[in-house]
Amino acid sequence: MTIEWRYTVEQELGILSVAGHLGPAAVHRFSGAVGWVVARGAGPVIVDLTALRGWSAEGQLAITEAARRLAAEGRSLELAAIPADGSLVPTGDCPPIPVHSDRTAALAAHGVRREAEERQEWRTTGWPS
């Protein structure tokens, strides 16, 4: 089982939405999505996990690696709507990862009250409509 992803840019804020299960088989695809984010955006990145059904220890490590990768580019990573089956336990050398209850709260933390009508968006072909 793998993941699907969508990346949007809202007012200098990147939003990487992930659907499916972030397990060992999906880590490579998630890392590729993070590479896409690094190459096409600037500013903080919110990883929206609303449509994520769950994650494994490998999936959680992929999140912390993404935080490190973004920090190396001068960007931060935040999470919205982590799966109910566990909390993220980053390693000691990981930058802080703020966690928001949902996408709306994450956007509000950055002063975005409503999502723009027009925005840049990239996604996998299997992204749910």
Q: What percent of the chain has pLDDT over 90?
A: 60
Whether 59 maps to a domain, the answer reads: yes
Model-level pTM?
A: 0.89
Residue 105 belongs to a domain with what CATH number?
A: 3.30.750.24
**What are 19's strand-pairing partners?**
4
Query: Which residue range is the domain that position 72 belongs to?
Result: 3-117
- Residue 126 domain flag: no
Number of domains in the chain: 1
d(CA 7, CA 124): 9
Strands (E), 11-124: 13-22, 45-48, 52-55, 77-80, 99-100, 120-123
Coil, strand or helix: which one is 38?
helix
Q: What is the pLDDT of residues 30-88, one digit of tens each?
A: 999 999 999 988 899 999 999 999 999 899 999 999 999 999 999 999 999 988 755 66
